[in-house]
Amino acid sequence: MTSPGTSTFEGGDVLSLENVCAAYGPYRALFDVSFRVPAGGIVALVGSNGAGKSTVARTVTGLVTATSGRIVFSGHDVTTMPAFRIARLGMAHVVEGRGVFSSLTVEENLTLAFRQRAGRKLLAGNLERAYTAFPILGERRRQMAGNLSGGQQRLLSLAKVLVVPPHVLVADELSLGLAPVVVDTVYEGLREINRNGTALIVVEQQVSRVLQLAGWAVVLDRGAVAYEGEPAGAGEAVEAIMSQREEAASSHI
């Protein structure tokens, strides 16, 4: 592994959100979301369908621009920064679902990421490492990424970030649709790069697994933070939201 960016913010926060609001066109999706990610820490972002988890992930990495509030990453105010600049500061985002260029080959997908993140000289070595870590990608390096299975595509997007570790990795619904064995590998990979200093924001709908991994948990409900604190309390918070919903639903009938 190349040297990960650990030391710069030892003890401090590598990422912080203050009262962040966001919207898709006229539709508001986030309301005053605030939380912090300590350097080298793991934050779990959980909540039900449509709670705004993915929107938080997208706002952090610049895909969706916050309408108000402030996002600070590695000491830079990135609130209105375009996504590619945030990425160059050391942010990586594994998007929900398919996150590869389907009309490029597997190798071209990796090349695109590695050339930008680690430079041309390290390209060959990085490709080699990716193929060692994920042999299936090596076998299919000349295939269009669109022809890979869903799980293989997820491995490809993971390989892009695991080989050249960023300061912060935002992983959106990594386990969705993956076989349990593969999920184990994926989580082992996450632990591995975290040990090397990468801070993680892990977005998950399956609560139990991510809460084992994380050191801090944020529960979202309808675009706002419903709970923030130790992972142990998050499970209860999610349960509470769910039972509220059920009550509301049954009282309508």
In the complex, the residues that contact other proteins under the rule CB under 8 A are 24-30, 49-55, 58, 61-64, 82-84, 87-88, 92-93, 95-104, 108, 111-113, 115-117, 120, 146, 160, 222-223
**Beta carbon of residue 123, minimum distance to other proteins (angstroms, whole number):** 10
Angle formed by the axes of helices 150-162 and 180-195, to 10°?
10
Indicate the DSSP class of residue 13: E
Q: What are phi and psi of 29, to 5 degrees?
A: -125, -30
Q: Report, in Å, the least distance between residue 218 CB and other proteins.
A: 15
What is the rounded distance in angstroms from the CA atom of residue 43 to the CA atom of residue 22? Answer: 20
- Which of 70, 115 has the CB closer to other proteins? 115
Strand-pair category, 91-94 with 168-172:
parallel
In the complex, minimum distance from the CB of residue 49 to other proteins, in angstroms, rounded to a whole number: 7
Q: Distance between CA atoms of 43 and 202, rounded to whole angstroms?
A: 6
**Least distance from C-beta 64 to other proteins, angstroms?**
6
DSSP string, 164-200: S--SEEEEESTTTT--HHHHHHHHHHHHHHHHTT-EE
> How far, rounded to the nearest angstrom, does the alpha carbon of residue 82 sit from its chain's CA centroid?
17
CA dihedral 69, 218, 39, 212 (to 10 degrees): -170
Which C-beta is closer to other proteins: that of 38 or that of 140? 140
Q: Which is nearer to other proteins, 54 or 194 (CB)?
A: 54
Nearest to other proteins of 24, 212 (CB atom): 24
- Based on CB atoms, which residue is closest to other proteins, 22 or 217? 22
Beta partners for residue 134, in sequence order:
none
Minimum distance between the CB of residue 230 and other proteins, rounded to whole angstroms? Answer: 26
Least Å from the CB of residue 232 to other proteins: 26
Q: Which H helix or E strand runs over 57?
A: helix 53-61
Q: Which is nearer to other proteins, 70 or 222 (CB)?
A: 222
